[in-house]
């Protein structure tokens, strides 16, 4: 059985992989933006902020 070795090393990331990664990142950022700018995000951030303040003993 013959083993074929690539003529060039296959390391790093190709342009297509950059495109997929960029699209996935943009989609995730859009989802976070929608969640955090709506009523759910406002409530979540307020609860988180209040919790951190209570842990620090400030409020």
Q: Look at residue 49 in the predicted model and tell me its pLDDT.
A: 93
Q: Which of 9, 27, 25 is nearest to 17 (CA)?
A: 25
Q: Look at residue 8 in the predicted model and tell me its pLDDT.
A: 66
Sign of the CA dihedral with 12 first, then 14, 15, and 18 last: negative
Q: pLDDT tens digit string along 4-59? A: 666 666 666 678 888 899 999 999 999 999 988 888 888 988 999 999 999 999 86
pTM metric for this prediction: 0.53
Q: How far apart are CA 10 and CA 1, in angstroms?
A: 22
Q: Do the beta carbons of residue 10 and residue 18 sit within 8 Å?
A: no
Q: How far apart are CA 21 and CA 14, in angstroms?
A: 11
């Amino acid at each position: 059985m013959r083993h074929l070795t690539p003529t060039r090393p296959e390391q790093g990331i190709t342009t297509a992989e950059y495109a997929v990664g960029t699209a996935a990142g943009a989609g995730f950022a859009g989802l976070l933006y929608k969640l955090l700018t709506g009523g759910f995000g406002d409530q979540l951030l307020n609860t988180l902020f209040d919790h951190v303040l209570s842990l620090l003993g400030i409020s």
